Structure 1
Amino acid sequence: MGSNGGTGGGMGRSEKANGLLLISPPLIYVILLLAAPLLMVVLYSLSLEGGGYGFGNYVAVWTDRINQLLMLRSLTVSLSVTVVTVILAYPVAYFVSFYVKPDKKALWLFLITIPFWTSYLIRVFLWKVILGFNGVINSGLMSLGIIDAPLQAINYNVQALVITLAHAYAPFAILPIFVALEKIDRSLLEAGRDLGESQFMTFLRVTLPLSMPGVIAAVLIVFIPTVGDYVTPDLIGGGKLPMIANRIEGTMLKQNNRELGSAIAVSAMLVVAAVTLIFLLLNRRFLKGAK
């Protein structure tokens, strides 16, 4: 009995050691490339000019009206991009999942990922050309005589930012929604129709709730990175619509104030984390209500 117990304990320790050995390379990678830089940013944010540590930088960040406005603009733009992207991505994912033949789905997914073949920066520049004062849209409308002067509503404003970012992150939203839709048991949809439900009501009561995990993933994948985007506001916004990431870049690189810039960055991360947590809690209540 004692021998078997010792052998079992040895096997348990061996399996645990093998598991730790298996995850050690990615764990070390995460610590070195993610956790360590994040820790350095936090330490910088707590550093004071006269020496020592404290929350003085955070007080300066949250009492600055400019930082408050930029954070509000970043959240507004990111939420708008998320809503537009998910609303446009869902029908595409639904069509590929339910109406495209199984042997053609891989081709459709391949076509959806084509934008990834080019650099993100190039795609932003292309939208600048399309939406510019002398761009494709304005030039085309003026040549047709529809307008006499270039439209102001499609360039150097929030609408242009939303259009550009929605296009850039569309594949990120389509793919998780498609995966969630593929996992739905088609017999559940047939059962709903057999019980007299219309196709639309079956979608609302069965398909949509079951696809919510994919929608949640799409929302988070789009919302989190767009808050920290600084290339698009700089190029599409013409420098007139800076977001919180542009503020961080200017504070750290142009003003060479790493402490204050780090405090802005950590504050932005905390705000994004809080908004994300609120969304997840509301979504959990929605799913419980649906059940």
Structure 2
Amino acid sequence: MTDAATRSVGDVDAHRRVLVAAAYRMLGTVAEAEDAAQEAYVRWLRLSDAEREAIANPGGWLMRVTGRICLDVLGSARVRHETYVGEWLPEPVPASSETGDPADAVIGAESVSTALLLVLETLTPAERVAFVLHEVFAVPFAEIAEVLGRSAAACRQLAASARRHVGRRRGATVPRTRHDQVVAAFAAASATGSLEALVRVLAPDVVLVSDGGGVVSAARRPVRGADHVARFLLGLARKQPTAVYEPAVTGDGLGFAIRVDGVIAAAVAFATDGERVTDVWMMRNPHKLRAWV
């Protein structure tokens, strides 16, 4: 390997955390994010020494290439989600992951919530890339234009449209302390095993989504309504009497890691309205639980 190529490895490694973090926000899973960052790395190494030396800002180049890769992946993502077994959820990552991976600190930042990732899923691929690159990583519109193959003005409009859409869909923000109090009340009610107690801490129109990926058992469709969600959760607890529920910090606030015989079985995140739980997101797909091991 030439000296220039050796330096290029250092350049990529120095930016890897940010590349994976950006790709995770665009794609919704850590594995795909890491693949996108790795592909950007491969394309960097394929450049000649002269081409690499001519790039004044390797980090900006790598971010643009990662954005283009994610754009391509997002173009086929909707088709893949349509063939996914059961409900699809973005991969949850603990906000304080300690797996030792250098990307964890960025990927697991508290700003990355299941609620936000689900809203981003409703954007077009171009809107999502423009929103993430500009709103989260402050990439100039002139550079985003290179990623999307559009004018800077068009990219500015895409980002603005995405920002409005995200604002409408996310709704009012519940203070983290209040969210955690509601989830703690939910946990206390669940521990009683009482249907009535659990129903009281759930919003009437609460929705539970469980992602098993066709690998493990999970609800194939969303469970809707306080009574149905409460019965589902209590039934699950009865089926797993040895399960241990560990409090965990997620991007959405207080959540839980569920372990059976010491093995991670699920990660659960919540949304609340400040009074009751409005959404329960239960990840059971083992391929999306590696950060919780």
TM-score normalized with structure 2 length: 0.26
Between Structure 1 and Structure 2, whose CA radius of gyration is higher? 1
TM-score normalized with structure 1 length: 0.26
Q: Which structure is higher in RCO with an 8 Å CA cutoff and minimum separation 6?
A: 1
